[in-house]
Structure 1
Amino acid sequence: MTHRARRLGPVYYDEFAPAGAPARTVVLVHGGSVTGACYLSTPDGRPGWACSFVDRGYRVLVPDWPGVGRSAAIPPDELTGAVVCEALGRLLDEQDEPVVLVVHSMSGPFGYRLVETHGDRVAALVALAPGPPGNIQPEPRVLAETAASLEIQGEVLRWSLPKQGLWWPTEAFARAKMLGTGTRFPPSAFARFRDDLVPIPAGLLTERQNVHGSQLRVHDPAPFAGKPMLVLTGDHDTDHPEPADAATAAWLRTLGATVTYRYLSDPAHTGNGHMLMSEDNSGELAELVMEWVGLLD
């Protein structure tokens, strides 16, 4: 395996390549409050999904969103989902062949937008506990609003959000949102996980909550026709109850995508929360994804 740290415009990314010719290129895009490092290793020190995919012969790219982590060149108040997607789209354009695009949580709408704008560069989409698009996500109830902040009631969780700058994750957020009620997250690794969380640019978080209808929407269904997609969700993910992600899968089908929806409630996989790539069965879940990708060939 070879590893190179690279930069394209505002995006820093890690590139991992197997010893031989790669089967495919997989792009692993992180969600909110974390960086691409969540795919490099688990909080308790095991090899991450990037290693699992490379070991199976895939070339893997792991970017940080522009303005986040190692890609922190863009000021937070200039960041929108459209800006993030434009930068990630440049990364897709640089590849020799279409990629398998893996998105998690807040990156779900980025994945849908990239299929719409770069459908010829995306061979398949894997959406892990994905946020819904603005097309189907209801607007949250605004409980209070000032010039500087918002308090909203989301579909499951209540949020206090700044309108500018950065939103810093709290320990309560980490436990309720990132871990949920699952039994798969290694308890001894929580302190390290909490300490490694990063702030989310305020504008990206208000978009994710669809405040005032701001979430990214899909306007052109044509690139979705026949596109293979996997939606994968843990059965103890507090912010992603089964009907929510089932609705996202159903919406993708209405656009013509060929969708596999996997809700992890079977005895072999039950207990997963939100951070599928960090939990004690992360290697098994990577195998599930790779088995699905293998069916594309």
Structure 2
Amino acid sequence: MKDRPRIQSCEDTKKYFTNSDTFPFLAFENYFCSLVAESARISNQRRNVEGGGLYICDPKILFDIPICVITGDQDPRHPREVDALTAKYFGGDFIWLPDVGLPGHGHMQMLEHGNLAIAEVFINWLHSKGL
């Protein structure tokens, strides 16, 4: 089985996680120092080695649970089309941040400049679900 590329350097981290226009690059060194290696268990579950990954045979069982997938336009790990299909599969909602006026976000939305606006989008979504 071919493994996905492992994040091993500052350049890999910048490419996969902190590549957006809104990432606070002045704090990159602090962020990079905080990273720890992924455990073998979670890596194997993510690749579904020996059937250990999350498997939902009938996604309709989740349709009563509010699900929201929020994706930024500068996240190479989460293409719009894939995340939209994931939300649909689970009966959830999909929010593409540029569609709500928030372009320029990547994988680490919670750390990026403008994260409070993203939180507001999510809070408004929660309110729309009565939560």
**Cα distance between partner residues in 2 of 1:169 and 1:288:** 33
1:178 equivalent to 2:13? Answer: no
TM normalised by structure 2 equals: 0.85
Question: Partners of 2:48 and 2:77 in 1: how far apart?
Answer: 15
Greater radius of gyration (CA)? 1
Q: d(CA) in 1 for partners of 2:60 and 2:77?
A: 30
Q: CA offset at residue 174 of structure 1?
A: 1.5
Aligned partner of residue 194 in structure 1, secondary structure: helix
Which structure 2 residues correspond to residues 56-135 of structure 1 after superposition, within 5 A? none
Distance 1:247 1:212, change over 3 A: farther
Query: 1:267, CA displacement in angstroms?
Result: 7.3
Q: Which has the higher contact order (CA 8 A, sep 6+)?
A: 2
For 1:204, give the aligned amino acid: I
Partner SS for 1:200: coil
Task: Determine the structure 2 residue equivalent to 1:279.
Answer: 112
Consecutive unaligned residues of structure 2, counting only runs of 5 or more, are: none
- Alignment partner for residue 291 of structure 1, among 99, 102, 124? 124
Change (3 A) 1:214 1:236: same
Aligned counterparts of 1:295 and 1:267: Cα–Cα separation in 2? 15
Distance 1:207 1:173, change over 3 A: farther
Larger strand fraction of residues = 1
Matched to 1:171, the amino acid is C
Specify which structure has the higher proportion of helix.
2
Q: Give the Cα separation in 2 of the matches to 1:295 and 1:206.
A: 36
Shift of 1:284: 0.6
Aligned position for 2:42: 204
Q: Residues 190 and 234 from structure 1, CA distance in 2 versus in 1: closer, same or farther, beyond 3 angstroms? A: same
Counterpart of 1:215 in structure 2 is 53
Counterpart residue number, 1:249 = 87
Counterpart for residue 190 of structure 1: 28
Deviation at 1:176, TM superposition (A): 1.8
- Aligned partners of 1:173, 1:234: CA distance in 2, in Å? 19
Unaligned ranges ≥5, structure 1: 1-141, 144-151, 153-157, 161-167, 254-258
CA contact (8 A) 2:59 2:89 kept: no
| 1:221–1:252 CA distance, 2 compared to 1 (3 A) | closer
8 Å Cα contact 1:169-1:197 kept in structure 2 = no
> How many Å apart are 1:222 and its aligned residue?
5.3
Q: C-alpha separation between the residues in 2 aligned to 1:187 and 1:193?
A: 9
- Aligned-pair CA distance for 1:195: 0.6
Q: Residues 217-232 of structure 1 correspond to what in structure 2 (within 5 A)?
A: 217-221=55-59, 223-232=61-70
Per the TM alignment, residue 290 of structure 1 is displaced from its structure 2 partner at its CA by 0.7
1:258-286 CA distance string (max 9 Å, x none)? x2101112373111010111000011111
2:5 match:
159
